[in-house]
């Protein structure tokens, strides 16, 4: 509590974070995140029984599920259509249909679905919103706990690494029903909590160790690839901070538990098999930013040609995190200002981070960079697919958060700060990008993109009944994000020190 009281305006950041993400939770209808028909049926069907909402099917890999769960993305791939089609389907758990779409064969780790199932009820719309806010509160709670437990010099790394990687895709996913939200949370927090664990003593160390393990469980329990990313994070922390004093039973216990948890979740899900064997449909159109890549042949190319194409175009997946790809089912295209602004903020801090590098940090960054390049290229090439299909930017977002965090770890005794103007410019740029992204995301579902205009309250075809107006959600959510961004810029620098804007000027006596 004494640490919380000493953070001045930062104590209000969790509140504004919840409000900002809450706006994103209301900005999209049910079924709006990628593959939500699969994920929603998996959530409701974690427990299947004759008297339950989700009943057993005619085989081990089928279930009888509410039709709304499968048909919710009725607007997917049709950006000119609003989400009005949901009102015709209704939000009741009746009628039901037989389907094999779901995690019935153990493709994904079961933890995310099991936890979300606790909030699955007969009113699908209310249940969806509750789940989204559970994810938001989980993220805000873990971020707050980690911030307070970390050494002061690492707090800036935590806040700034998340700030520059969350707009727009991160904001969308954190407030969604997609297991990628937990992958982001777990990977993005586990590594820095473990770093703090190696740099602290006593009760503080115990708390950080517990947070690191909890975050690993969250990541690995949501996606198999997040289990791998979590271990990469722990490995690069050991590389950066390894010394003889960290070789003890406590460190071995935390690392051992993390490895065991990741191994169990990874090896018991068929995602692992898909990653090793590759997956894809080489005959499908290559969809990416701006639509199909017509210059890429859908004929089976040679392995060399396919490998070369994937290697050269892998950065397309990275830039998709910053808005060059569409949100939702990849059909909500955003203006260039979102992509350019978010990417510029990331690159600006990346250059500062590269100015504070030693050999170990360089090797850690090289390892993460290699993973960002090699993993998608291998999976797609192995399955005969091109960059642009199957593997999406959200799969790599946890690794990009990790890369940003390691970039902003101070390892050399030299200035590692943003000036007042730089910090405020980054906050302003990200606030503008978040506002535009939120507006376009809401417009796509409220009226469809065939109806343009700044006022979201005009021509409404779909919206949440009995809630604030669309413009109220847009304004409140955008202002909340701007406030938290400027508070971070005002009070915490990259090295965890107080911002130059708050430091008292040093007055020197002038002697003639």
Instruction: Tell the burial category of 295 from Cβ atoms under 10 Å away from its Cβ (0-12, 13-18, 19+).
Output: exposed
The pLDDT, as a whole number, for residue 5 is 53
319 and 176 in a single domain? The answer is: no
Give tens-digit pLDDT for 311-326. 999 999 999 999 999 9
364 and 279 in a single domain? The answer is: yes
* Domain span at 351: 274-327+338-407
The pLDDT, as a whole number, for residue 512 is 34
137 and 278 in a single domain? The answer is: no
Which string of b and e fits 213-251 if b means at least 16 CB within 10 Å? bbbbbbbbbbbbbbbbbbbbbbebbbebbeeeeeeeeeb
- Beta partners for 64? 55, 98
Helices then strands, each counted (H, E), the chain: 21, 5
Alpha-carbon distances, residue 486 vs 185, 427, 505 (angstroms): 22, 6, 21
Cα-to-chain-centroid distance, residue 106:
23
Helix, coil or strand: residue 174: helix
The pLDDT, as a whole number, for residue 506 is 42
Tell me, yes or no, whether 364 lies in a domain: yes
More confident: 285 or 318? 318
The pLDDT, as a whole number, for residue 8 is 66
Tell me, yes or no, whether 500 lies in a domain: no
pTM passes above 0.75:
yes
Of 353, 376, 407, the one marking the end of a domain is 407
Measured CA to CA, the distance from residue 368 to residue 360 in angstroms comes to: 13
246 and 298 in a single domain? The answer is: no
8 A C-beta contact, residue 233 and residue 194: yes
320 and 440 in a single domain? The answer is: no
How many other C-beta atoms are found inside a 10 Å radius of the C-beta of residue 455? 9
356 and 396 in a single domain? The answer is: yes
Closest CA to 272 of 216, 219, 223: 223
| Run of H or E including 374 | helix 359-382
Q: Which of 52-66, 157-171, 221-235, 422-436 comes out lowest in average pLDDT? A: 52-66
93 and 170 in a single domain? The answer is: yes
Of 407, 438, 455, the one marking the end of a domain is 407
Measured CA to CA, the distance from residue 502 to residue 332 in angstroms comes to: 40
Domain count, the chain: 2
pLDDT above 90 (res 110): yes
Give tens-digit pLDDT for 185-212. 999 999 999 999 999 999 999 999 999 9
290 Cβ contact partners less than 8 Å away, ≥ 6 residues apart: 333
The DSSP secondary-structure symbol of 419 reads -
Average pLDDT on 226-251 reads 94
Phi, psi values for residue 287, rounded to 5°: -105, 130
Give tens-digit pLDDT for 19-77. 999 999 999 999 999 999 999 999 999 887 767 788 888 898 999 999 999 999 999 99
Tell me, yes or no, whether 502 lies in a domain: no
Tell me, yes or no, whether 279 lies in a domain: yes
Helix, coil or strand: residue 64: strand
The pLDDT, as a whole number, for residue 508 is 43
Q: How far apart are the first and last CA of the chain?
A: 49
Which string of b and e fits 166-191 if b means at least 16 CB within 10 Å? bbbbbbbbbbbbbbbbbbbbbbbbbb
Instruction: Tell the burial category of 96 from Cβ atoms under 10 Å away from its Cβ (0-12, 13-18, 19+).
Output: middle
Closest CA to 416 of 474, 471, 495, 480: 495
pLDDT above 80 (res 282): no
Name the pLDDT band for 95 (thresholds 50, 70, 90).
confident
pLDDT above 50 (res 403): yes
Most distant CA pair in the chain, distance: 95
266 and 345 in a single domain? The answer is: no
Name the pLDDT band for 261 (thresholds 50, 70, 90).
very high
pLDDT above 90 (res 293): no
383 and 473 in a single domain? The answer is: no
Tell me, yes or no, whether 506 lies in a domain: no
Give tens-digit pLDDT for 353-396. 999 999 999 999 999 999 999 999 999 999 888 898 889 999 99
Closest CA to 30 of 232, 224, 177, 245: 177
Preceding amide of 483 cis, omega within 30: no
pLDDT above 70 (res 250): yes
pLDDT above 70 (res 295): no
Tell me, yes or no, whether 139 lies in a domain: yes
Tell me, yes or no, whether 333 lies in a domain: no
414 and 403 in a single domain? The answer is: no
205 and 163 in a single domain? The answer is: yes
Counting Cα atoms < 13 Å in the Cβ hemisphere of 458 gives 5
224 and 351 in a single domain? The answer is: no
Tell me, yes or no, whether 505 lies in a domain: no
8 A C-beta contact, residue 172 and residue 327: yes
DSSP 239-252: HHH--GGG-SHHHH
The pLDDT, as a whole number, for residue 511 is 41
Q: Which of 1-5, 40-44, 261-265 comes out lowest in average pLDDT? A: 1-5
Cα-to-chain-centroid distance, residue 478:
18
């Amino acid at each position: 509590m004494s640490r919380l009281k000493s953070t001045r305006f930062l104590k209000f950041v969790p509140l504004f974070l919840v409000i900002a993400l809450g706006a994103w939770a209301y900005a999209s209808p049910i079924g709006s995140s990628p593959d939500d028909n699969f994920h929603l049926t998996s959530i409701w069907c974690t427990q299947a029984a004759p008297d339950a909402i989700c009943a057993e099917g005619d085989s081990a890999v089928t279930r009888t599920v509410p039709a709304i769960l499968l048909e919710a993305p009725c607007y997917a791939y049709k950006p000119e259509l609003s989400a009005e089609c949901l009102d015709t389907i209704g939000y009741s758990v009746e009628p039901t249909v037989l389907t094999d779409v779901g995690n019935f064969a153990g493709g994904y780790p079961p933890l995310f679905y099991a936890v979300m199932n606790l909030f699955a009820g007969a009113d699908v719309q209310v249940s969806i919103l509750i789940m989204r806010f559970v994810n938001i509160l989980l993220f805000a709670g873990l971020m707050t706990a980690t911030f307070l437990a970390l050494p002061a010099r690492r707090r800036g790394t935590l806040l700034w690494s998340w700030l520059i990687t969350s707009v727009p895709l991160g904001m969308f996913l954190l407030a969604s029903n997609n297991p990628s939200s937990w992958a982001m949370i777990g990977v993005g927090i586990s590594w820095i909590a473990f770093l703090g664990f190696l740099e602290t003593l006593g009760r503080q160390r115990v708390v950080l160790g517990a947070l690191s393990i909890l975050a690993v469980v969250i990541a690995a329990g949501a996606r198999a690839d997040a289990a791998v990313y979590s271990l990469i994070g722990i490995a690069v922390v050991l590389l950066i901070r390894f010394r003889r004093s960290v070789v003890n039973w406590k460190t071995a216990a935390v690392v051992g538990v993390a490895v065991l948890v990741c191994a169990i979740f990874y090896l018991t899900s068929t995602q692992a098999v898909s990653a090793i064997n590759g997956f894809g449909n080489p005959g499908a159109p290559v969809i990416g930013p701006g639509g199909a890549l017509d210059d890429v042949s859908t004929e089976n190319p040679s392995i060399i040609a396919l490998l070369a194409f994937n290697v050269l175009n892998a950065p397309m997946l990275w830039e998709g995190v910053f808005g060059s790809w569409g949100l939702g089912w990849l059909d909500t295209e955003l203006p260039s200002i979102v992509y350019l602004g978010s990417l510029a903020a990331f690159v600006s801090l990346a250059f500062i981070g590269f100015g504070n590098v030693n050999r170990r940090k360089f090797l850690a960054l090289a390892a993460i960079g290699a993973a960002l390049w090699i993993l998608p290229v291998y999976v797609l090439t192995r399955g005969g697919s091109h960059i642009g299909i199957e593997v999406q930017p959200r799969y790599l977002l946890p690794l990009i958060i990790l890369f940003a965090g390691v970039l902003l770890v101070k390892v050399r005794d030299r200035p590692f700060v943003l000036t007042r103007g730089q910090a405020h410019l980054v906050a302003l740029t990200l606030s503008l990008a978040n506002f535009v992204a939120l507006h376009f995301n809401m417009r796509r579902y409220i009226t469809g993109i065939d109806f343009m205009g700044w006022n979201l309250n005009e021509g409404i075809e779909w919206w949440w009944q009995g809630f604030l107006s669309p413009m109220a959600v847009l304004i409140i959510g955008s202002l909340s994000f701007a406030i938290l961004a400027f508070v971070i810029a005002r009070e915490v620098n990259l090295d965890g020190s107080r911002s130059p804007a708050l430091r008292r000027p040093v007055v020197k006596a002038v002697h003639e």
